[in-house]
Amino acid sequence: MTTTDTLTQPGPARSGAKPMIELLGLTKRFPGTAEAAVDGLTLTVDEGEITVLVGPSGCGKTTSMELINRLIEPTSGRILIDGKDMTHTNPDELRRHIGYVIQETGLLPHRTIAQNVGIVPKLLGWDKARIAARVDELLEMVGMDPATYRGRYPKELSGGQRQRVGVARALAADPPVMLMDEPFGAIDPITRERLQNEFLRLQQQVRKTIIFVTHDIDEALKMGDRIAVLRNQSHIAQYDTPENLLTSPADDYVSDFIGTGASLKRLNLSRVRDIEMATDAPTASVSAPVAEVRAALLASSWTSLLLLDAAGRPVRWVTSRDLGRAERGAALADVGLPVEAIVEPHATLADALDELIASNVGCTVVVDGSGAYQGIVDLETIMIVVRTVRDEYERFHLAQKLAQQPADGRAR
Amino acid sequence: MADTALATRATGGPDSAVLRRGGSGLSWFGMPVLLAVILGATYLWVGSLELDTIERRTLNADQLTRSTLEHLHMTAVSTAIVIVLAIPLGVLLSRPFARPVVPAVLGVANIGQGVPSFGLITIVILWTSLGFWPMIIGLVACSMLPILRNTMVGLEQVDRTAVKASRGMGMSPLQVLLRVELPLAFPVMIAGIRTALIINVGTATLGTFFGQGGLGFIVYNGITLNRTPVLITGVVLVSALALLVDYLAGALGRLLAPRGL
């Protein structure tokens, strides 16, 4: 995501994309309660986007989501999906066309994995062969070997595997819209991180329109194309891109909710491939003559040189002193320091920074999918990005202020 | 040996150890063997005795078979009726709309359980007449509660997320009930059915006081005629029948239980 992108998309109303889910004044008042649980929620989600509803517990985010597939019938308001009014259609039929993933997965314990994934296709009356083929395809898609897992029962799977099956099941009938209620909430942090990444990669392929509920702002920032920060009764405090949320929270409630470390969190939003990495670092083949390697190091402004193997993969960092040892007879492959900090271009700057801090040389090597050397990210590169982003946002909002026409009446 | 054979048959593969329904050989065959030993020992003991005419009038193959069949008949009919009545009622009472009437219905079922069976059957018979069906009504009233309550409890303990997910995927309430709730409640429900069976086998011994025969006839004869072999034979037969029926219901439950639980 580049800065210019976000600059042209400051507010919720964007042109070009087709609205897929439209909620118009959705309200739910439970009998016997004075306050509405959800009060006049109006929200538009564009096709192929992930919109995250985030807020503290009790703010009505789960209720809001269950109003969309009408597990809870709205008291008033309208639900439009792909332009069609779904407020009064048959709710069972409606739900068969909306993927649904919940926190505890809700897998049926007495059904096999294949049967669980095939539930909605079966409800839709697909024939057996088609269901079986689709089940295998989906298990493959979520990284589970169909032959191994097809016939197992949910309790034979780990929490992470169950959640993958939950996602596969929601995708089974290829619904255009998916609702996900804290899908990665009950999973250990490491597995959660992996599932989030896998899901984002999957979303690149399937491009579903998704409403995702979480109470975790970091998860919201990571998963969301747009984020609606909710306060009580599902009132929207701010509906914006993650970048705008971090750089210009609408009010104290939003900035309190984002919490401290907004600049650090912003590093989660930029990816290594979008920044200018240093490509002038001296490199040499690990099998080259030492004299040639020293010449390459001397010719550059760097103090270390990166040794690459035959396939172009980084092997070791060497300094002039290490080369001295090599000249005295040590093998090049044994001198210097091993390359530890390595990231791929789709990694976030936060990942790169993390690697960098943990590494022994103060910079992170970027490699492509096959592991071949691409460039270097160092602390300075990251600092420049942070500063540029901040400056550009400041300029953008200054210009808006001077133009005296706030995008949608919010203070920004 | 028999253990491995069973386990393999039940699960279709040796690698799904978690899901073995087989259990150990003892749990499958222990009870039948025990019953055979007890019945065999009683038979040998009674056979070794010199029976007088009074004893022989009760302790003969014809009378014992007839009493056992009468007993089984009462048990089977009453249990079948209880199942047919209590399970649908339990399902109805577990639906949200029935919440207000639950305490009242459970209260009535509690009376059936709480009032001594003898008194309850007497009341039914005073109210109607002597006969097979009034006896059955009495038995049904006595054994209603376990099935009713276990059906409700079984449905209540079904994982809410499974129900919610099923609704969220577009199953109708009836589909959720038949495909999710009842299968998941099955183990608890079968426990209720076993309890009801045992109550009915036990209570059916009272049938003899209302002209319905059954194994109670043997026991009662043993007491009134002061003939210990008759009394013991009756008691052993009733107990063995209760244990056997319970064992069969349990085995059936294990075989029919949904896998994966």
Q: Is residue B212 a part of any domain in this protein?
A: yes
Closest residue, chain B, to A92 (C-alpha): B170
pLDDT of residue B1: 36
Backbone angles phi, psi at A373, to 5 degrees: -60, 135
Q: Is residue B49 a part of any domain in this protein?
A: no
Topology at the third CATH level for domain A12-261: Rossmann fold (3.40.50)
* Distance from C-alpha of B115 to C-alpha of A64, rounded to nearest angstrom: 51
Closest residue, chain A, to B17 (C-alpha): A156
pLDDT of residue A412: 43
Instruction: With beta carbons under 8 A apart, name residues in chain A contacting B170.
Output: 92-97, 120, 123
Pick from A13-22, A35-44, B52-61, B185-194: least confident: A13-22
Looking at domain A274-383, what is its CATH homologous superfamily? Answer: CBS-domain (3.10.580.10)
Residue whose entry in the numeric block shows the structure tokens 């509803």: A53
Q: Does A274-383 match A12-261 at the fold level?
A: no
pLDDT of residue B25: 67
Q: For residue A271, what is the DSSP state? A: B
**Tens-place pLDDT, residues B249-260:** 989 888 888 887
* Distance from C-alpha of B145 to C-alpha of B139, rounded to nearest angstrom: 11
pLDDT of residue B158: 93
* Distance from C-alpha of B61 to C-alpha of B241, rounded to nearest angstrom: 16
Domain map of chain A by residue range?
A: 12-261, 274-383
Element (H, E) at B79: helix B61-94
Q: Is residue B16 a part of any domain in this protein?
A: no
Residues in a beta bridge with A307:
A284, A316
Q: Is residue B64 a part of any domain in this protein?
A: no
What is the rounded average pLDDT for all residues in chain B?
85
Q: Is residue B36 a part of any domain in this protein?
A: no
Q: Is residue B203 a part of any domain in this protein?
A: yes
Which positions ≥6 away from A236 have C-beta within 8 Å? A41, A42, A43, A228, A229, A230
Closest residue, chain A, to B259 (C-alpha): A110
Q: Does A95 touch chain B (CB under 8 A)?
A: yes
Q: Is residue B186 a part of any domain in this protein?
A: yes
Residue A96: alpha-carbon gap to chain centroid = 26
Q: Does A73 touch chain B (CB under 8 A)?
A: no
Residue B129: Cβ-neighbour burial (10 angstroms; 0-12, 13-18, 19+): exposed
Q: Which domain holds residue B119?
A: 77-261
The enclosing domain of B221 has a CATH number of 1.10.3720.10
**Tens-place pLDDT, residues B70-86:** 999 999 999 999 999 99
Q: How many domains does chain B have?
A: 1
* CB nearest to B161's CB, from A92, A106, A179: A106
Pairwise CB contact (< 8 Å): B259 & A153: yes
Higher pLDDT, A241 or B109: A241
Q: Which of A345-349, A388-392, B2-6, B178-182 has the highest mean pLDDT?
A: B178-182
- Provide the percentage of residues in chain B whose pLDDT is more than 70: 90
pLDDT of residue A13: 46
Strand order in the sheet with A84-85: A38-46, A19-28, A76-81, A84-85
Residue A211: Cβ-neighbour burial (10 angstroms; 0-12, 13-18, 19+): buried
pLDDT of residue A16: 59
Closest residue, chain B, to A169 (C-alpha): B169
Mean pLDDT of successive 10-residue stretches along chain A, which has 412 residues:
37 64 92 89 94 91 92 93 91 93 90 95 94 94 92 92 93 94 86 87 90 92 92 93 86 86 75 82 88 89 89 90 87 86 84 82 84 87 78 73 59 44
Report the 10 Å Cβ neighbour count for A357.
11
SS3 B186: helix
Pairwise CB contact (< 8 Å): A107 & B169: no
pLDDT of residue B245: 92
Residue B38: alpha-carbon gap to chain centroid = 21
Which positions ≥6 away from A235 have C-beta within 8 Å? A39, A40
Shortest distance, CA B183 to any CA of chain A (angstroms): 8
Which positions ≥6 away from A326 have C-beta within 8 Å? A290, A293, A318, A332, A335
* CB nearest to A102's CB, from B165, B259, B260: B165
Higher pLDDT, A358 or B136: B136
Pick from A103-117, A130-144, B2-16, B92-106: least confident: B2-16
Pairwise CB contact (< 8 Å): A71 & B165: no
